[in-house]
Chain A
Amino acid sequence: MDSKFLDQLTELLEMETPVKPADKFRDYENWDSLAYLSLISFVDEEYGIVIPRDDFGKMNTVQDIIDFIKNNS
C-alpha cells in the first residue's frame, strides 16, 4: 500500500518530486484548502475511511496518514 499511496499522493497534490513518508505535508508549497479536500476525499474514495479533522490536525507527516489508514482499515 505504501508505495502505491505515495505515487497517488504525488499525483493528487501535483508534486514535482515524489512524496516521501517523512515529508511534513503542510510544508508543501501547494498545500492549501483544496489540497486538504483532495486528500480527505481521496482517502474516503480509495479506502472508505473518513479522516476526522481532529485526527488530521494531529498528523504531521505523510507516514502519519499512512499509519492512520492502516490502523483504520
Chain B
Amino acid sequence: MVTGASSGIGRQTAISCSKAGARVILLGRDASRLEETLSAMDNPEIHLMYALDLVQFEEVSAMVEEAAHKMGPFHGLVNAAGISTTLPLKLLSAEKMDHFFKTNVHTTIQLTRFFTRHSDKQSGASIVFLASVMGMAGEMGKTIYSLTKGALISGVRSLALELAPRNIRVNAVSPGVVLTPMSQNAIYSQDEESLNRVKSLHPLGLGKPEDVANACIFLLSDAAGWITGTNLVVDGGYTAR
C-alpha cells in the first residue's frame, strides 16, 4: 500500500514496487493522476487504486477493509503522502498548524492503525514513513514542516517496539531535496540563486524520486529483515556536514 501515489516519491515507489514484483494498492486524491502512475507500472491489471482524501478517516477505514478483502493480508505500507511549505513563525497560525499535523502526521498514524489490522501474521510486514532531513536539521521558515517530520521520526521508534511482537517492522526514510512537483513548487525553486544554494547543500546534487524509492524498497524487503525503529537518511550528503 502506497500513499501519495499520484506524484513524486509516492508515485515512483509504487512503480518500483511493481517492478520488484509486488501487487500494489495505490492511494491518492486525484484519480486521473493515479491512472498515470498505474499505466507506468508493471502488470497494471493486478494492482488496486483508490482516489480519496486521507483525512477522511472513516472513508479510509472502509477502503482498507475492502482492499484487505480483495488483496489481503498486507505486507507493506509506505506513507509517502505529505505537504510542505516555507513559512516564518509569524505566519504559523493555529489553523495552519492543525492542517499540517493532520495531513502529515494524523493521516499516517490512522492509516497505519487500519493497515495493521490486516497485516500478514505469518510472514510479517514492513511499514515505511517518509520523513525528511528537515526532521533532523533546520532551515529558516521550515519550522512547521520540521515539526511534522520530526514527529514521524520520533513516532517510528515507539511504533517499532510496539509492533515488533507482531512481526511488523517500522522505519522512517529521510530524504534531502528531491526533484518532485512538491519541491519544484517551493519558494527556493522560483529563482536560480536560491536553487543553486539548495543544490550546494547537497554534495551529490539534488535527489531523484528513484533514489528514495530504492530506499523504501530495501526497507520493505526481507533484505532489511533485522532493521526496525530506524531512520534511513537518503540526502546526497546534506546532513554529512
Contacts and interface: CB of A to CB of B under 8 A. Distances in A.
Contacts of B140: 33-34, 37
Contact of B90 (A12, A40, A50, A53): A12
A48 to B, nearest CB: 11
B44 interface: no
B91 A42 contact: yes
Given A33-B140, A37-B86, A45 B91 contact: yes
B58 interface: no
Contact of B88 (A34, A53, A54): A34
B141 interface: yes
A67 interface: no
Contacts of B88: 34, 37-38, 41
A39 to B, nearest CB: 10
A40 B88 CA distance: 10
Contacts of B90: 12, 14, 38
Interface string B114-147: 0000000000000000000000000011000000
A51 B90 CA distance: 19
Interface of A is mostly: helix
A45 B100 CA distance: 14
B191 A52 contact: yes
A41 B191 contact: no
A50 B194 CA distance: 13
A23 interface: no
Interface residues on A, range: 10 to 19
Interface in A4-59: 12, 14, 33-34, 37-38, 40-42, 44-45, 50-54
A24 B193 CA distance: 23
Contact of B86 (A12, A14, A41, A53): A41
* Residue of B141, B190, B194 with most chain A CB atoms under a 10 A cut-off: B190
A6 to B, nearest CB: 17
B87 interface: yes
A50 to B, nearest CB: 5
Interface in B68-100: 85-88, 90-91
A53 B191 contact: yes
Contacts of A50: 187, 190
Interface of B: 85-88, 90-91, 140-141, 187, 190-191, 193-194
Given A37-B187, A38-B90, A41-B86, 20 more contacts: A12-B90, A14-B90, A34-B88, A37-B86, A37-B140, A38-B91, A41-B85, A41-B87, A41-B91, A41-B141, A42-B91, A45-B87, A50-B190, A51-B190, A52-B190, A53-B190, A53-B191, A53-B193, A53-B194, A54-B191
